[in-house]
């Protein structure tokens, strides 16, 4: 890369390319020298302890229209970074570490391209972006993937989890490509310390229960079903978002409940086909714990909860026919666990716990809950936006790239974009029949829908 192609945020010429569309007003952002959070420091601790592990997550936006040049994309990203000061900062300091502006920040170290060698090489190019290392000292990167079609391209955004959580990354998506409301996440009102004794009790109860679950006997975990190759792969599926909402609402639940029930059904079918026994599957669910006054753009404010998925084989009827009510029973079992997660008391407890939990317990708990001895699937979901664009090109689809923890079967992400609920599975290339997972999930959603109609 020649020096003449470099573009930095401080350069006076850093402005949107002519085709980037109208300029949106910048949102209010916190000042520099923003303090790190205990969850940020916990992920930094994981990076130091396990430097061989990829501790990154992210997402992909698929766009229709001619791709921009790399130089134009860098100029566009540099312009948008004014709304996202964390992305031009780094962690400095010891126990009182803070996010501080990086004096040597340069866009060209963060924005790259991968050119596919024709239509058949699209997936190979995407996987190159998925597995590419970050530049030295960089905590995030954007890869422009094109060459597979003249009027289609993709943008792959990846970040170290010590830099952002999913909610902050969704804010990045909306700042770069999204339109409409900046946030779709549920938030409690500003309550101060109202009801402090009760809130302290609820937070302590949540902490005790969550930590105890990391010690609970989880049952037999299957041995390694494959030898990891070290290369990640992405597989996608989608259904209309209204389908998931109808299924969940019909039982008094949510679209996310329907997703988890379909995931359990898909895992049961995958286990039978792949020959991988799954006596127990426990997913780790990241939960956004930001308070009303906290910015989405800075670091981590999340809590991780383990939840058992009902993946056992669906029993047949005495006459040998298929039990058509099994999908709804899976949904009811999921909802029995998630029902209290939607309550205001529990959500407030999560926020209080994340706000006040000290560094050492936070780091210890994160190591425990991500251990394959406790959980074996990462399952995350995120509302992104109603629509998105870059210049005259439109976002047509999205895929979350959840954290793939060593020893886990895979990470699964559900993104809500426009009229679609899009599921993505990220797994090691060696996972047996991993490419079937999206199709099996779509089939499981269809079975849920049919069972709900009959019910």
Buried/exposed code over 85-114 (b: 16+ C-beta within 10 A; e: otherwise)? bbbbbbbeeeeebebeebeebbbbbbbbbb
Position 208 pLDDT exceeds 50: yes
Give the per-residue pLDDT at 203: 63
Q: Which helix (H) or strand (E) holds 327?
A: helix 326-338
Position 107 pLDDT exceeds 60: yes
Give the per-residue pLDDT at 6: 31
| Model confidence pLDDT, tens digit, residues 309-329 | 998 765 544 444 456 788 999
Give the per-residue pLDDT at 344: 78
Position 21 pLDDT exceeds 60: no
Strand partners, 232: 428
Give the per-residue pLDDT at 106: 95
Buried/exposed code over 402-437 (b: 16+ C-beta within 10 A; e: otherwise)? bbbbeebbbbbbbbbbbebbbbbbbbbeebeebebb
| Interatomic CA distance for residues 421 and 378, integer angstroms | 18
pTM for the whole thing?
0.87
| Model confidence pLDDT, tens digit, residues 160-197 | 999 999 989 998 999 999 875 544 454 444 555 556 66
| Interatomic CA distance for residues 220 and 373, integer angstroms | 9
Residue 27 — pLDDT band, cuts 50, 70, 90? very low
- Residue 286, token pair as written in the block: 């990241």
Position 17 pLDDT exceeds 50: no
Give the per-residue pLDDT at 68: 97
Strand partners, 413: 380, 424
Give the per-residue pLDDT at 216: 60
Give the per-residue pLDDT at 319: 42
Give the per-residue pLDDT at 328: 93
Query: What is the average pLDDT value for the chain, to the nearest integer?
Result: 84
From residue 285, give the alpha-carbon distance in Å to each of 11, 72, 119, 198, 338: 41, 37, 36, 25, 11
Give the per-residue pLDDT at 295: 73
Q: Which helix (H) or strand (E) holds 445?
A: helix 437-454
Give the per-residue pLDDT at 158: 98
Give the per-residue pLDDT at 33: 66
| Interatomic CA distance for residues 396 and 300, integer angstroms | 28
Give the per-residue pLDDT at 314: 55
Please state whether beta strands 98-101 and 34-35 pair in parallel, antiparallel, or not at all (unpaired): antiparallel
Give the per-residue pLDDT at 352: 83
Residue 453 — pLDDT band, cuts 50, 70, 90? confident
Q: Which helix (H) or strand (E) holds 178?
A: strand 178-179
- Residue 397, token pair as written in the block: 């689809």
| Interatomic CA distance for residues 408 and 57, integer angstroms | 15
From residue 425, give the alpha-carbon distance in Å to each of 381, 407, 409, 422, 438: 12, 15, 10, 10, 7
Sign of dihedral through CA atoms 295, 299, 303, 308?
Answer: positive
Give the per-residue pLDDT at 8: 29
Position 291 pLDDT exceeds 80: no
Residue 198 — pLDDT band, cuts 50, 70, 90? low
Residue 298 — pLDDT band, cuts 50, 70, 90? confident
Strand partners, 160: 56
Q: 188-192, 204-208, 296-300, 423-427 — which is least confidently predicted?
A: 188-192
Helix (H), strand (E) counts: the chain: 11, 16
Question: Of 158, 233, 265, 240, whose CA–CA distance to 409 is shortest?
Answer: 233
Q: 18-27, 111-120, 229-238, 436-445 — which is least confidently predicted?
A: 18-27
Position 82 pLDDT exceeds 50: yes
Q: 39-48, 123-132, 346-355, 400-409 — which is least confidently predicted?
A: 346-355
Buried/exposed code over 349-365 (b: 16+ C-beta within 10 A; e: otherwise)? bbbbbbeebeeeebbeb
User: Do 233 and 429 meet the contact criterion of CB atoms below 8 Å apart?
Assistant: yes
Give the per-residue pLDDT at 367: 93
Helix 359-370 and helix 38-49, axial crossing angle in degrees, nearest 10:
60
Give the per-residue pLDDT at 130: 97
């Amino acid at each position: 890369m020649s020096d003449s192609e470099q573009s930095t945020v401080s350069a006076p010429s850093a402005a949107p390319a002519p085709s980037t569309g109208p300029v949106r007003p910048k949102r209010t952002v916190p000042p520099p020298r923003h303090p790190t959070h205990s969850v940020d420091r916990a992920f930094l601790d994981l990076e130091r302890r396990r430097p061989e592990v990829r501790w990154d997550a992210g997402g992909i936006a698929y766009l229709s229209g001619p791709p921009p040049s790399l130089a134009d994309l860098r100029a566009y990203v540099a312009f948008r970074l004014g709304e996202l000061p964390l992305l031009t900062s780094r962690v400095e300091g010891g126990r009182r570490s803070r996010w501080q502006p990086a004096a040597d920040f340069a866009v060209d170290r963060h924005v790259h391209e991968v050119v596919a060698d024709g239509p058949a090489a699209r997936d190979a190019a995407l996987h190159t972006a998925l597995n590419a290392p970050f530049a030295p000292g960089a905590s995030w990167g954007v890869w422009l993937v094109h060459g597979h079609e003249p009027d289609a391209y993709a943008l792959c955004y990846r970040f170290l989890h010590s830099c952002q959580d999913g909610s902050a990354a969704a804010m990045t998506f909306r700042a770069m490509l999204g339109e409409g409301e900046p946030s779709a996440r549920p938030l409690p009102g500003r309550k101060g310390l109202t009801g402090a004794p009760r809130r302290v009790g609820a937070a302590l109860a949540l902490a005790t229960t969550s930590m105890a679950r990391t010690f609970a006997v989880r049952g037999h975990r299957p041995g390694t079903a494959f030898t990891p190759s070290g290369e990640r792969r992405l597989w996608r599926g989608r259904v209309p978002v209204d389908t998931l909402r109808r299924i969940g609402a019909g039982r008094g639940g949510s679209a996310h409940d329907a997703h988890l029930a379909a995931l359990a059904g898909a895992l049961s079918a995958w286990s039978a086909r792949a020959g991988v026994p799954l006596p127990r599957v426990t997913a780790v669910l990241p939960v956004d714990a930001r308070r009303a006054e906290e910015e989405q753009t800075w670091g981590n404010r999340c809590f991780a909860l383990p939840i058992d998925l009902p993946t056992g084989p669906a029993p047949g009827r005495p006459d040998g026919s298929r039990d058509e009510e099994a999908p709804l029973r899976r949904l009811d079992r999921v909802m029995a666990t998630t029902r209290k997660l939607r309550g205001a008391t529990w959500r407030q407890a999560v926020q209080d716990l994340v706000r006040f939990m000290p560094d050492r317990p936070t780091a210890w708990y994160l190591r425990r809950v991500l251990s394959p001895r406790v959980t074996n699937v990462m399952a995350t979901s995120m509302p992104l936006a109603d629509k998105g664009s870059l210049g005259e090109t439109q976002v047509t689809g999205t895929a979350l790239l959840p954290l793939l923890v060593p020893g886990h079967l895979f990470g699964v992400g559900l993104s809500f974009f426009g009229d679609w609920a899009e599921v993505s599975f990220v797994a090691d290339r060696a996972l047996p029949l991993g490419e079937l997972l999206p199709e099996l999930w779509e089939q499981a959603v269809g079975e849920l829908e049919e069972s709900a109609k009959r019910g």
